[in-house]
A and B are shown apart, each in its own frame.
Chain A
Amino acid sequence: MPRLTLKGLSKAYGTLRVVDNVDLSLQEGEFVCLLGPSGCGKTTTLRMIAGFIEPTSGSITMDGEVLSAPGAVLPPERRRMSMIFQSYAIWPNMTVAENVGFGLKLQKLPSAEVRARTRQILEVVQMGHLADRYPAELSGGQQQRVALARAIVVKPSVLLLDEPLSNLDANLREEMRFEIRRLHDEFRITTVYVTHDQSEAMATADRIAVMNAGRIEQVDAPHLIYTQPRTRFVAAFIGRTNLLEGRLADGEIGLDGFSLRAAQLGQKVPDAARPILLSVRPQAMSLSRSQPQTREGRPVLAAIVAQRTYLGESWDYVVRPQEGGLQLRVTAPPLQVHEVGEKVWLELDPQQIAVVS
């Protein structure tokens, strides 16, 4: 039985459907990210799981018990969950230890146990030496660690995180994202993590649920989300890509200016006579000055460099194949320099091309 199940979950404000028929289930110990642009309904979904918002329709079930349904919402304090907030919500009138011990005291545990577990978890998040400080004396990263400790120490059945790293600077964000994953590996708490930052989602999650306009577009492991996007939105939202429209006829996918053999793609192509959308990542193509040896099934196109941007780790070229009206974005290593207007050869790797729909 899954730990947490969302079934047909919707939330509407007036006629605006903020969350639209969301289905999702988490196994015990699983870490799922809700990823999407701002306003996609991910935070509303999280707050419905926490019990702060009543759903308009659908249900939320934990271990087979219905927690939320329209008109019947178990209040947050009786869900045995814990949550980390965007603002951290560290209580400024309590010390670090008092903050962390708060949930344990509410469980009416003996004070010796409260103290022991508080000390222990503070060591785990490397905050043991600051137990008696007040939050105002802590840095943002330290407050974040306190929030983590406070949420984990109660051993919740589900841990919820609402954009927990968005208030930190870039370096700290990277550090904390590994910290969160490390704590998950250590305690295996079933976790729902909301973020708009895809690298955060990639680094932390077992599975990512990409949300758009209130709906879940795709739920998959991070590498599958990247390599096999199922919708146009997912392909465009995760990483950078070139979206090409084509049409299948006699095993050949006809594209603007060239064609590909369907059998050579890494994925099976749906057999219908309808338009096909392909996602070609900038890394799935390479440029060269002279015409490369034609390899079996690797299309080579003559192209002109239209734009270039140096990004430090790589070059970002926009090239225009001579046949057809396409513009393709291609990544090249830093030492491979082409001038704008130069003629180049473009080689595609069909194995890395994803069939979106």
Chain B
Amino acid sequence: MTESAAILSKSDTEAARRPGLLRRLRYLEPSNLLWVLLIGALLFLVAIPIGKLLVVSFEKQGSGAFTLANYATAYGRARYLEALGNSLMLGALSALLSVVFAVPLAWAVSRTDMPGKGLTWAMVMGAFIMPPYLGAVGWILLAGPNSGFVNQAWTWLTGLQAPLVNVYSFFGLALVISLHSFPLIFIFVKSALDLISSEMEDAANILGAGTWTTTRKVTLPLVWPAVLGGIIVVFLETVALFGTPAIIGIPARINVVTTQLWQFFEYPVRVEVAAAYAMPLLLITIGMIAVQKLLLARKGFVSQTGKGGERRPIRLGRWRWAVWGYCGFVGLLAVLMPLAVLLQASFAKAWGRGLAWDNLTLGNYGYLLFRHEMALPSIWNTLWFSAASATAAVVIAVLVAYIVARRLVPFGSVLAFLAMAPFVIPGIVMAIGFYAAYAAPPIALYGTALIIILAFTARFLPIAFANSAAAVRAVHPEMEEAARILGGGRLLTVRRITAPLIIRSLIGGWLIVFIVASRELSAAVFLVGPRTRTMSVLLYDLSEAGNFEVLAAFGGLLLLITLVLVAIGMKLAGRDFMLRRS
């Protein structure tokens, strides 16, 4: 008894002495140091550009004195307000059209015995990876009012001179946008449909409801939150989109917020006015994302997985070919037709002359690869900007994800919040923020590669973070604890256990960021200098010049690079790595 008391009193004094030392050591613990570094990086990438954007919108150009004049200018002309209205209507119409394309396809692929599901998948994937501005160019070739192939065919068939379709119209613009946004709704709805067990439908069938009634009253209502979530995302993508509205909208004299912002950046650059004019875009996005969160927070709606619920495809009978036809039609519009005319134009001397042996040439590619002074540098720029920003984003993201998931530091959630914040910031707004914060002296990054890489990193940080957080979450903490209790320190555990387990997902995340960065236009177009043009910006420049053959050839090159990357991604990270919903 006395002996044990002596031991305990000795250890008590030890325990009393040790905390002081430990607490001091704790300040030097690597995870806390890392925390400070990460906070610094995230402030620089996210908080400062957005803060600066806000501040600048209230500053007088040059003097920096407080003023409301920027807002007065930005909203003082009917033309500017009209652009705002156009953006909202365009967003709504594109979202609606996307639903029309996406929901039947998702239902057919997920719930029915329609033939050719793999083909439909490939079409959706194709529409998803094709850069939207490339589709826009394709549709100009297809549905230009006079020389577009569809209108030519119409005139040839009917003898009527009036064009059948005109891409240079509000509806045309919305259609082209939706043909590239519908995969988002498809992904949302399909993954929701995949969770519904057949028993849900059987329960309605047994009470006397036919297939059609069941689909309408049970299946679709169950995925309604997913549809709504998809609508919101497409709406937001559309109002923040720059490429398609610039390529189609400007010639058609349809002014939207993003193209108007672009005009504020024409000489003389009025960044203060642009900042003020970008505010609605920011507020709408934040508001809509909040609404979506609220909607999806209502549990028990979609996630009725029902353990082991059997899933049987609905037998369509003779309707299966009709459904197949619709899927094919969408694929034709979204991928095959634009791709076909782009390829034709890229190998043509004059695209309007159609397919003919004497019209065939490799000259467009040759011109780009050997004589154009910016084409090759822009390809190189695109590759290394994208690689650098993907690397930076994934490294920051995985560190934040790990620290947050394992609760290594207090207030880790601040890190997670900052890493996810760019999700609610449209790329174009982000770019203006970066311009406002870092373009001018003292930092003077305008025209450098660094400002583009930083902007891309910030813009795609949420993608990398969502990916990394899912990867880290998938590693059960006990996996690490098992290594620790056997004698492995934290660093050894991360190196030997955690890293091998998450590396594949991280490569997948890296490739996704790389791919979206390599086609990013709206953030790049505001930040590139003469020596830092990316492929997407050069493509836009070419479209302004109006040489469609060279433009198509350059699009072909861009597409080729994207396809190679996607193929690598599928090989390394699984067939559906881009369409997986995290």
User: Per a CB cutoff under 8 Å, which of A51, A72, A86, A93 touches B478?
Assistant: A86
- Indicate if the CB atoms of A66 and B14 lie closer than 8 Å: yes
User: Per a CB cutoff under 8 Å, which of B11, B483, B492 touches A69?
Assistant: B11
Q: Which of chain B's residues 449-493 have a Cβ closer than 8 Å to chain A?
A: 476, 478-479, 481-490, 492
Judge if A79 is at the interface, Cβ distance under 8 Å.
yes
- Indicate if the CB atoms of B15 and A150 lie closer than 8 Å: no
- Indicate if the CB atoms of B478 and A85 lie closer than 8 Å: yes
- Indicate if the CB atoms of B486 and A50 lie closer than 8 Å: no
| B294 partner residues in chain A, CB cutoff 8 A | none
User: Per a CB cutoff under 8 Å, which of B23, B478, B488 touches A77?
Assistant: B488
User: Per a CB cutoff under 8 Å, which of A61, A80, A93 touches B501?
Assistant: A93
User: Per a CB cutoff under 8 Å, which of B22, B476, B482, B489 touches A72?
Assistant: B22
Judge if A264 is at the interface, Cβ distance under 8 Å.
no
Which of A29-37, A99-107, A214-222, A295-303 has 4 or more CB atoms under 8 Å from chain B? A99-107
Q: What does the 1/0 interface line of A38-70 toward B look like (CB < 8 Å)?
A: 000000000000111000000101001010011
| B486 partner residues in chain A, CB cutoff 8 A | 77, 82, 102-103, 106, 150, 154
Closest to B486 in A: A103
> What's the minimum C-beta distance from B208 to chain A, rounded to whole angstroms?
40
Judge if B18 is at the interface, Cβ distance under 8 Å.
yes
Judge if A76 is at the interface, Cβ distance under 8 Å.
yes
Complex CA gap A78/B484 in Å reads 9
> What's the minimum C-beta distance from A206 to chain B, rounded to whole angstroms?
22
Complex CA gap A57/B130 in Å reads 61
Complex CA gap A107/B488 in Å reads 9
User: Per a CB cutoff under 8 Å, which of A50, A64, A70, A107 touches B485?
Assistant: A50
Q: Do A77 and B487 form a contact, CB below 8 Å, given A72-B22, A89-B476?
A: yes
Q: What does the 1/0 interface line of B32-60 toward A look like (CB < 8 Å)?
A: 00000000000000000000000000000
Q: Do A89 and B11 form a contact, CB below 8 Å, given A71-B19, A72-B22?
A: no
- Indicate if the CB atoms of A103 and B487 lie closer than 8 Å: yes
Closest to A80 in B: B487
User: Per a CB cutoff under 8 Å, which of B481, B492, B501 touches A85?
Assistant: B481
Judge if A91 is at the interface, Cβ distance under 8 Å.
yes
Q: Do A76 and B476 form a contact, CB below 8 Å, given A66-B14, A70-B15, A71-B19?
A: no
Question: What total count of A-B pairs have CB within 8 Å?
Answer: 86
User: Per a CB cutoff under 8 Å, which of B11, B23, B479, B482 touches A61?
Assistant: B11
Judge if B7 is at the interface, Cβ distance under 8 Å.
yes
Judge if A120 is at the interface, Cβ distance under 8 Å.
no
Judge if B100 is at the interface, Cβ distance under 8 Å.
no
Q: Do A77 and B19 form a contact, CB below 8 Å, given A66-B11, A87-B476, A89-B476?
A: no
Please tell me the number of chain B residues within 8 Å of chain A, measured between CB atoms: 26
Judge if B497 is at the interface, Cβ distance under 8 Å.
yes
Complex CA gap A7/B11 in Å reads 12
> What's the minimum C-beta distance from B261 to chain A, rounded to whole angstroms?
48
Judge if B500 is at the interface, Cβ distance under 8 Å.
yes
> What's the minimum C-beta distance from B34 to chain A, rounded to whole angstroms?
18
- Indicate if the CB atoms of B478 and A89 lie closer than 8 Å: yes
Judge if B8 is at the interface, Cβ distance under 8 Å.
yes
Complex CA gap A52/B23 in Å reads 18
- Indicate if the CB atoms of B501 and A59 lie closer than 8 Å: no
> What's the minimum C-beta distance from A31 to chain B, rounded to whole angstroms?
18
Complex CA gap A50/B21 in Å reads 22
Complex CA gap A150/B483 in Å reads 10
Judge if A149 is at the interface, Cβ distance under 8 Å.
no
Q: Do A82 and B485 form a contact, CB below 8 Å, given A71-B23, A72-B22, A93-B501?
A: yes
Complex CA gap A185/B59 in Å reads 80
> What's the minimum C-beta distance from A250 to chain B, rounded to whole angstroms?
40
| A–B pairs, 12, beta carbons within 8 Å | A61-B7, A71-B18, A71-B22, A72-B18, A75-B484, A82-B485, A85-B481, A85-B482, A91-B501, A93-B500, A102-B483, A103-B486
List of 10 A-B pairs having minimum Cβ-Cβ separation, nearest first: A71-B19, A103-B486, A69-B15, A89-B478, A72-B18, A89-B482, A85-B478, A66-B11, A106-B487, A76-B484
Binding site for B on A (CB under 8 A): 7, 50-52, 59, 61, 64, 66, 69-72, 75-83, 85-87, 89, 91-93, 102-103, 106-107, 150, 154, 160
Binding site for A on B (CB under 8 A): 7-8, 11, 14-15, 18-19, 22-23, 476, 478-479, 481-490, 492, 497, 500-501
Q: A72-B14, A75-B484 are in contact. List 20 more A-B contacts (CB 8 A).
A: A52-B484, A66-B11, A70-B15, A71-B18, A71-B22, A72-B19, A76-B484, A76-B485, A77-B487, A79-B485, A81-B485, A82-B485, A83-B482, A85-B481, A86-B478, A89-B478, A91-B479, A91-B482, A106-B486, A106-B488
